[in-house]
Amino acid sequence: MNSELPDPHPADAEPATPTSANPGSAETAATPLSGNDTVNLAAEQSKSTAGKNLPGFGDLPIPEDTANLRHGPNLHDGLLALLPLIGVWRGQGQAHNPGEPEFTFGQQLTFAHDGENRIAYESRTWRMDDDGQPAGPDRREAGWWRISETDEIELLIAHSDGIVEIMYGKPMTERAWQLESASTMVTATGPADLGPGKRLYGLMPNNNLGWVDERLIHGELVPWMSAELYRHMG
């Protein structure tokens, strides 16, 4: 086991709790809470996350990336429709690669900004063994989120296993965002069976972040990866 892998359930945060609905479904992501319940839940959860932020060098001549809206530069006005995503999220999910059995993975998802009209995005995953312990690093993603004045979202992603992708979409609600592949390029050593697809990200009633990715595999759109993540930072 790699001791440097993030603990998916540290002592100072609540682990993601499975729900009866798909964590990435529009039904779950868009389920409303009362105003008081939303405020009270957010206030309670922020007690363990409000003081955390990304480590910085401290000597850059430009603003450092921040994943905490309480610290660093102000979020660009053009990104307000994506504001709830800002932070570091951790949890677990399920994946099903073509030709492999389904497996559980841990994930850290980072949405950070530097005051400019863009969001830096990073995903790190690690496989979990049958005992629920980290078994080693797995796929990584890095990219950028941008959104136009008409609320069209543009997501550019580079995958560590040889995929470069552009996705477009729009906010479904103030707490849910859906994107679809516009261009998916796979390298000669990448996963040849993996085609374009769509993703849904959404805040659940417990304020966890759920997401699901469906892919065109052998001509059929099927679930590929999904996870439920709690706010670790921000």
Please report, for the domain that includes residue 122, its CATH number.
2.40.128.20
The string of pLDDT tens digits covering residues 185-200 is 999 999 888 889 999 9
pLDDT at 36: 57
- Residue 134: how many other CB atoms lie within 10 Å: 20
Question: Is it the case that residue 52 has pLDDT exceeding 80?
Answer: no
d(CA 204, CA 225): 17
Question: How many domains, the chain?
Answer: 1
The better pLDDT of the pair 36, 127 is held by 127
Q: Tokens 């850059």 correspond to what residue?
A: 60
User: In the chain, what is the straight-line distance between the N-terminal and C-terminal CA atoms, in Å?
Assistant: 28
Any domain includes 210: yes
Any domain includes 71: yes
Per-residue pLDDT band at 76 (split at 50, 70, 90): very high
Any domain includes 227: yes
By residue range, what is the domain housing residue 213? 26-49+64-233
- Give the mean pLDDT of the chain: 84
Any domain includes 13: no
pLDDT at 14: 45
Any domain includes 187: yes
Q: Tokens 């809470």 correspond to what residue?
A: 33
Sequence-distant (6+) residues with CB within 8 A of 43 are: none
Any domain includes 4: no
What are the two backbone dihedrals, phi and then psi, of residue 170, each rounded to the nearest 5 degrees? -145, 155
Any domain includes 57: no
Any domain includes 56: no
